[in-house]
Structure 1
Amino acid sequence: MTARATPWRNEPPADHRTGPAARLLPYHRLGHADPEHRWWKPLVELLLFGAFYLVLAIVLGIVWAVGLVAVRGEEALDEVFLPGAELDILDPAIFFVLFFSLVLMIPALLAARAIMGPRPLGLLLSVTGRLRPGLLGRCLLAALVVYAVAQAAASLVEYALAGTPAAPQPVEGFWWLIAMIVLVVPLQCAAEELVFRGYLLQTVGRWLRRPVFAILLPVPLFTFGHLYDAWGLLAVAVMAVVAGYLTWRTGGLEAAIALHVVNNVVATLLGALGLADPDAVESTWVALTVSAGTQLVFAWWVVRFVRRHGVEVTRTVRPPRPGALPVPGPAGPAGLAGRGGPGEGTGAWVCPGPPACPGHWAARTPGRAPEPLP
């Protein structure tokens, strides 16, 4: 990684280039790695994603309902679906269906991306086209340390103000909850990041070059998907901004996934231990301050690590070779590039202008060979 390959340097807003052909794309612009990109493709991808997810959610609901009746009897469904019934998120059955229903966004989105592109599918994960396990592991470890220190500090403050802190009181079905916290919650967090920091960042990045738009525009969608008061929603919004910024700055979802996983695992674990109420919708400015401070410290560490270790944050995209593509001939029928005299059947790497992606091959201009744009 070189200094000019980093997307946060003071450079013109145009995509970074290493020459007249190659381009260095930051994460939010990876949709432009597809030479067949069109501005409307993300919208069709969204419709396909919604359709696939709806089918999977219906199947999950049917299977879950049948299983619940088989284990607990018919009255179990009445307790869940009767008017006025309150869902207990710490009931293992309710916990599973709420969190695993979000996991289904992963296969639904990957199926939609497989149809619409760009490929490889791993471009949703990082600029390398795959998940980077080393970076993910280091980010998970850093998030665990930061959250552990923050939780210990909060416990010391509680002890100083209120005396002995409350003792853990594990809820019923504790071990079932622990198993799902370990196995399901990380997948739920990864699914949300794949949609809100993967698909949405790259969708906005297909239309707008500036990363600030890709980072901020999805924030309201993520924030208002949570049912909290004003302080709680502000805390969610801060997390969305930090996760979006880290996704752009690191060239992938690893840091955002790590932050989300540790945040949700800590919250649900405290609920399973009886030390927090996971159904609470009210928060305070103190909780907002602690949450935001913890996430900002984590972001500072990640940015420092990425800069010091030269983590790849852009993807080099080169156009296909002109000689390998057919282009229109001078009299109508398409000929092969490279045939004929000078200027005959020659392709050029040109920009047709927004909203289409730069990177399509244009027909030969009569009378002269097309020139590549700088």
Structure 2
Amino acid sequence: MATPYHRLARETPAYAWWRLPLAALVIAATYLGLSLLLVAGAAVWFATTSTSRSFDRWLDAVGDLDLRHVDYFVLDLLAIVLLIPAVLLGVLATGPRPIGYLTSVAGRMRWSWLGVTALIASAVSLVTIGCSVVVTELTDPSEVSAPAHLDSRIVIALVAVLLVVPFQAAAEEYLFRGYLLQLVGSWSRFAVVPVVVTTPLFVAGHGYGLWGLLDVALFGLTAAILTIRTGGLEAAIAAHAANNVVLFALDALGVLSATDDSGAGPVDLVPSVVASIAVLALVERAARRRGIQRTREPIPEPPAPMWPPPPWAMPQHLPQHAPQHVVAPPPPALHPDTPDYPGDVPPGWR
């Protein structure tokens, strides 16, 4: 039986119950070490530049994601990006399978599929967020600021958004829809269980008010469904990156504040609901048309030990001492880039 994405860590010959929980400790330790290196690098940066901002001020502003201070913004996002090597190293150190299966059921990043979903998600985000800004401008002009003039600071901020935000989005997806989804998925065959369990954990990582947290929860559900339905993180990464890039770009232009939800209400969830429905429908349609692999092929079973058959089971047309050669059926055809399956599968049985 084919294996869905959330069960990849469980349905392998090398699975052991302690591997993924142990990976959490390795991930935490690796992330702590990388964060200390980032802080040390930031201290050197602020000590050797002529900027008026200081290292202490950055520490006080950590998590604000204020694009008025691009260096603060980049350092804050880099602190999140460090989750990517931490998660990959944690899974690589403990197993139970090649880390490519943390990305998709194909055992690798499907770059063309990532590009397709990025186009879909970008179009949806531009339309829904753009319409939301227009409606807000028509109903309450005080809530929307006029676009700023493109001075050098804004251009630098936009470049920083385009270069760093996609990696920040990918880092969160590798942690929540990658490692945690497969961790919880190893405990239950039902896809709804890891979806429901990981969504509150994703929400807990954001410091918003009630309606902002509900918006985050809606996206968390959408990203988890995209991951399981498409057999990989590509669509979730694309949706996450597109949403954040559009919001932070508008923030850099001074149109809105991407992280301020102090005045949010139930109406502010409407664009997110529309965007989630649209992304799910369009990605599902694209996946069907392109024949996207949604599950991993079954791992071939190694041949059973072949004991010499009794004399009466020998073919009558062969001498009793003739060796018996059993030809194994050919394994299913796999994509040439698919990594080796984990476990003790004998060579030649892929």
Q: TM-score, normalised by structure 2?
A: 0.81
**Separation in 2, partners of 1:223, 1:172:** 35
Instruction: Look up the equivalent residue of 2:86 and give its one-letter code.
Output: A
1:89 corresponds to: 66
Instruction: Look up the equivalent residue of 1:61 and give its one-letter code.
Output: V
1:169 corresponds to: 148
Q: Determine if contact 1:68/1:93 at 8 Å carries over to the other structure.
A: no
1:354 corresponds to: none
**Separation in 2, partners of 1:80, 1:225:** 20
State the Cα RMSD in Å: 2.5
Q: Determine if contact 1:80/1:86 at 8 Å carries over to the other structure.
A: no
Gap regions ≥5 residues in structure 2: 311-341, 345-350
CA distance 1:114–1:35, shift in 2 (3 Å): same
**Separation in 1, partners of 2:42, 2:238:** 29
1:322 to 297, 303, 308: 303
Greater per-residue strand proportion: 1
2:306 to 338, 342, 348: 338
1:221 to 188, 194, 201: 201
Instruction: Look up the equivalent residue of 2:224 and give its one-letter code.
Output: G
Are residue 48 (structure 1) and residue 32 (structure 2) matched? no
1:140 corresponds to: 118
TM superposition shift of 1:317: 2.5
Q: Determine if contact 2:147/2:255 at 8 Å carries over to the other structure.
A: yes
Instruction: Look up the equivalent residue of 1:175 and give its one-letter code.
Output: V
Q: Secondary structure at the match of 1:338?
A: coil
Q: Determine if contact 1:39/1:207 at 8 Å carries over to the other structure.
A: no
CA distance 1:36–1:87, shift in 2 (3 Å): closer
CA offsets per residue over residues 286-322 of structure 1, 9 Å max, x none?
1112112112211111112222332110101224423
TM alignment of 1:164-203, pairs within 5 A: 166-169=145-148, 173-203=153-183
Q: Secondary structure at the match of 2:297?
A: strand
TM superposition shift of 1:136: 1.0
2:287 to 294, 306, 327: 306
Q: Determine if contact 1:80/1:87 at 8 Å carries over to the other structure.
A: no
**Separation in 2, partners of 1:34, 1:86:** 39
Are residue 127 (structure 1) and residue 105 (structure 2) matched? yes
Q: Determine if contact 2:62/2:76 at 8 Å carries over to the other structure.
A: no
**Separation in 2, partners of 1:49, 1:38:** 18
2:314 corresponds to: none
TM superposition shift of 1:269: 0.5
Q: Which moved more, 1:111-120 or 1:38-47?
A: 111-120
Q: Determine if contact 1:205/1:211 at 8 Å carries over to the other structure.
A: yes
CA offsets per residue over residues 134-153 of structure 1, 9 Å max, x none?
21111111111112222332
2:267 corresponds to: 286
Q: Secondary structure at the match of 2:306?
A: coil
TM superposition shift of 1:240: 0.1
Q: Determine if contact 2:181/2:194 at 8 Å carries over to the other structure.
A: yes
Count of residue correspondences: 309
Are residue 267 (structure 1) and residue 244 (structure 2) matched? no
TM superposition shift of 1:267: 1.1
Q: Determine if contact 2:145/2:254 at 8 Å carries over to the other structure.
A: no
2:16 to 30, 34, 38: 38
**Separation in 1, partners of 2:280, 2:63:** 37
CA distance 1:247–1:59, shift in 2 (3 Å): same
Instruction: Look up the equivalent residue of 2:111 and give its one-letter code.
Output: P
CA distance 1:75–1:131, shift in 2 (3 Å): closer
Q: Determine if contact 1:127/1:252 at 8 Å carries over to the other structure.
A: yes
CA offsets per residue over residues 239-295 of structure 1, 9 Å max, x none?
000000110011011110011001110111111000112341422211112112112
1:205 corresponds to: 185
TM alignment of 1:149-168, pairs within 5 A: 149-162=127-140, 166-168=145-147
Q: Which moved more, 1:85-94 or 1:218-227?
A: 85-94
CA offsets per residue over residues 100-150 of structure 1, 9 Å max, x none?
111111111111111111332110111000111121111111111112222
Q: Determine if contact 1:181/1:269 at 8 Å carries over to the other structure.
A: yes
Q: Secondary structure at the match of 1:146?
A: helix
Gap regions ≥5 residues in structure 1: 1-16, 18-23, 324-336, 343-358, 362-374
Instruction: Look up the equivalent residue of 1:35 and give its one-letter code.
Output: P
> Relative contact order: is structure 1 or structure 2 higher (C-alpha 8 Å, sep ≥ 6)?
2
Instruction: Look up the equivalent residue of 1:89 and give its one-letter code.
Output: D
Q: Percent identity?
A: 37
**Separation in 2, partners of 1:31, 1:70:** 46
TM superposition shift of 1:225: 0.9
Task: List structure 1 runs of 4+ shifted beyond 6 angstroms.
Answer: none
CA offsets per residue over residues 58-85 of structure 1, 9 Å max, x none?
0011111110121146971243346x99
Instruction: Look up the equivalent residue of 1:310 and give its one-letter code.
Output: G
